[in-house]
Amino acid sequence: MVLEFRSEGIYCPAGDFFIDPWRPVDRALITHGHADHARPGHARYLATHAAAPVMRHRLGDITLEGIAFGESRQIGDATVSFHPAGHVPGSAQIRVAHKGEVWVVSGDYKTGPDPLSEPFEPVRCHAFITECTFGLPVFDWRPEAELASELNAWWQTCRAEGKHAAIGAYSLGKAQRVMAMVDPSIGPILTHAAVENTNAVLRAQGLPLPDTIRVTPDTDLKSYPGALIVAPPSALAGNWLRRFGPVSTGIASGWMALRGVRRRRAADRGFVISDHADWAGLNAAIRETGAERIFATHGYTATFQQWLSEQGYDAAVVKTEYEGENLDQPDSQAGGAEAAA
């Protein structure tokens, strides 16, 4: 096997490195900067140039080397390369080749386009390690333009009713995607500090984001009537939001496709926006790899493994410590600024 599944994480014996390990290791190849994939404590990190700034922002003074998308790197007896995953800016799938056999670790991925992330790139391989966060047919994402129209209509309605529109979106990836989807001519965009700190990192990389205003204790909220407020979901349930007065709340998550989740979150609106592949996207990505062996990691693993087996794949479930899209975790711990992307 090119890759093994160990207690520390996904391991390559030929190169003596781990991919997205959840225990401290000497050398870690990282798919993207979300906290469940890019963890502290490793001696050396390798990630794409586009993912590196966010990782440094989150993890501090780490020994981190950057690599370009598509660049081949020899590590020991293994050849590795990083390919766009479409999940968040800089996110990658990691291709590992050894003695003519190719394995790909997808990390988290999204096959549909968005305004900020590098488009998903199918990678041919013999074995594919895939997430299946939304591995049920009920998850069927709508086109980006339709989602943008829905967001803007909600915001305009809130302004007409004399309310702020507050949307919960995790600070890396989802928040910036929401801001890139809305029409800034409707009104000002106010941001929670966790969101604005990430905005600053991504703006420094040249990502096109609309103008935003960081909310501080000194912010005069009366000067921004009918604003859109972008904050981590956890902030919508606490004292932070109460200072804004009349507010309509929304949550951006793939889990909003399930009515029961929408009710439990007690938000006024649920927007089905996810940075993970839906059912069709998962199946299309797997077909395009040409892989015969599929390993399902986090999500509806048992159901998805059974489905893949019925389709003729050699499919197995692998237990990992990745979170996928988990709305119950605080922003600082979950799918990296995206407790639930």
What tokens appear for 105 in the block?
A: 């670790």
Q: Cα(241)–Cα(125) distance, rounded to whole angstroms?
A: 47
Mention every residue, 6+ apart, whose C-beta is less than 8 A from residue 297. 129, 130, 131, 132, 317, 318, 319, 320, 322
Q: Cα(193)–Cα(308) distance, rounded to whole angstroms?
A: 42
Domain check: are 169 and 230 in the same one?
yes
Domain check: are 131 and 79 in the same one?
yes
Tally of domains in the chain: 2
pLDDT at residue 291 is higher than 90: yes
pLDDT digits 0-9 by tens, 126-155: 999 999 999 999 999 999 999 999 999 999
Residue 328 placed within a domain: no
First to last CA, the chain: 31
Domain check: are 58 and 78 in the same one?
yes
Q: Cα(253)–Cα(93) distance, rounded to whole angstroms?
A: 22
Phi, psi of 293 (to 5 degrees): -105, 130
Helix (H) or strand (E) holding 189: strand 189-191
Domain check: are 84 and 179 in the same one?
no
Residue 11 forms beta bridges with which residues? 4, 18
pLDDT at residue 329 is higher than 70: no
pLDDT digits 0-9 by tens, 298-313: 999 999 999 999 999 9
Residue 306 placed within a domain: yes
pLDDT digits 0-9 by tens, 251-286: 999 999 998 887 777 789 999 999 999 999 999 999
pLDDT at residue 340 is higher than 80: no
- Give the per-residue pLDDT at 327: 63
The 10 Å Cβ neighbour count of residue 310 is 9
Domain check: are 24 and 67 in the same one?
yes
Mention every residue, 6+ apart, whose C-beta is less than 8 A from residue 331. 170, 171, 194, 232, 233, 234, 235, 337, 338, 339
Domain check: are 243 and 149 in the same one?
yes
Which range marks the domain in which residue 92 is found? 4-139+275-317
CATH of residue 300:
3.60.15.10
Cα atoms in the Cβ-side hemisphere of radius 13 Å centred on 6: 20
Residue 81 forms beta bridges with which residues? 95
Residue 225 placed within a domain: yes
pLDDT at residue 207 is higher than 70: yes
Q: Does the predicted TM-score (pTM) go above 0.85?
A: yes
pLDDT at residue 339 is higher than 50: no
Nearest to 219 by CA among 208, 231, 209: 231
**Furthest CA-CA distance within the chain:** 65
Domain check: are 237 and 282 in the same one?
no
Mention every residue, 6+ apart, whose C-beta is less than 8 A from residue 130. 106, 109, 282, 285, 286, 294, 295, 296, 297
Evaluated on CA atoms 239, 241, 247, 253, the torsion sign reads: negative
Span 160-171, mean pLDDT? 95
pLDDT digits 0-9 by tens, 67-105: 999 999 999 999 999 999 999 999 999 999 999 999 999
Domain check: are 135 and 184 in the same one?
no
Domain check: are 43 and 83 in the same one?
yes
297 three-state secondary structure: strand
Residue 341 placed within a domain: no
Nearest to 249 by CA among 231, 269, 234: 269
* Residue finishing a domain among 246, 271, 296: 271
CATH of residue 149:
3.40.50.10710
- Give the per-residue pLDDT at 330: 44
